[in-house]
Amino acid sequence: MGIRGYNLETKKRIYVGLLAVSLLSIMFLVGAIWYLIANRHIIVSQVLLITIAVVVAIILLILGIGIIAIILMIIRSRSIPSLENIMQLANELLFPLTIWAGKVMGIEKEQILKSFVSVNNYLVKSKEIFVPGKEVMILLPHCLQNSECPHKITVDINNCKECGKCKICDLKKMAEKYNVTIKVATGGTLARKYIEENHPRAVIAIACERDLSSGIQDATGMPVLGVLNCRPNGPCFNTDVNLEQVETALKTFCKGG
């Protein structure tokens, strides 16, 4: 099956393009420094010069291989297991630079983060990780709950009385159907606490692009599929989510439901 199913799908190009721009920027900077040194504008001993050149060349080579592997993986719709660590390293090291490159090129940060989540989802899905439902955790943002609801679902989602005024009841039922753990977090600290307590092997996180990208970066090594929430009432207030996208993400980890 092709790697499809998220509304973030079409956004991958922005992030991959910015990864490449970031790498080219580093290469340009290194080239400029090399030129200054080679022309004796900056005096550096021969041994030190060779050492620096070798280290920089290795780092650039690794980052370059990582980016090429990501592009190849997207084209082939299949992971390259032997290059997964290099892909992850290139992704993590170049992430801050992509934000900078995007800013210079006039691309909105929100678009870049959305694209980052899309690439992450692609990388995760291509690994074909299948785990029992009880080892999967769904993390929900508190703003999905109807603002007038008096029930404390952050303590326990089972406190939801299923009145139907927000999607919490549907997500609770979906979690029961797939036998997965589901938690409502008020922020990154609580989300981290839930992960430390429950030790899931895979996470499905629902949030805005900003929280999703920082959560994905935090969870080094943990496969996280991000589902973007909808904000018809503005940020962090009575937000919504496409249930179909959540179920697609669930089916990615829990094969066959």
Q: Give the binding site for ligand SF4 (CB under 6 A).
A: 145-146, 149, 151, 153, 160-166, 168-169
In the complex with ligand SF4, which residue's Cβ is closer, 83 or 169? 169
Copy the structure tokens of residue 184. 């409502």
Kindly list the distances between the CA atom of residue 232 and the CA atoms of 18, 237, 239, in Å, as whole numbers in the listed order.
Answer: 29, 9, 7
**Least distance in Å: CB of 193 to ligand SF4?**
21
Q: Is 43 helix (H, G, I), strand (E, B) or coil?
A: coil
- Residue 229 DSSP code: P
**Least distance in Å: CB of 158 to ligand SF4?**
10
Copy the structure tokens of residue 136. 């999967």
Size of the chain, expressed as the number of residues it contains: 257
**Least distance in Å: CB of 172 to ligand SF4?**
8
Give the burial string for 201-228 (b: 16+ CB within 10 Å, else e). Answer: ebbbbbbbbebbbebbeebeebbbbbbb
In the complex with ligand SF4, which residue's Cβ is closer, 114 or 172? 172
In the complex with ligand SF4, which residue's Cβ is closer, 114 or 183? 183
**Least distance in Å: CB of 161 to ligand SF4?**
4
In the complex with ligand SF4, which residue's Cβ is closer, 154 or 248? 154
In the complex with ligand SF4, which residue's Cβ is closer, 84 or 170? 170
**Least distance in Å: CB of 249 to ligand SF4?**
21
- Closest-CA residue to 180 (of 249, 234, 124, 237): 249
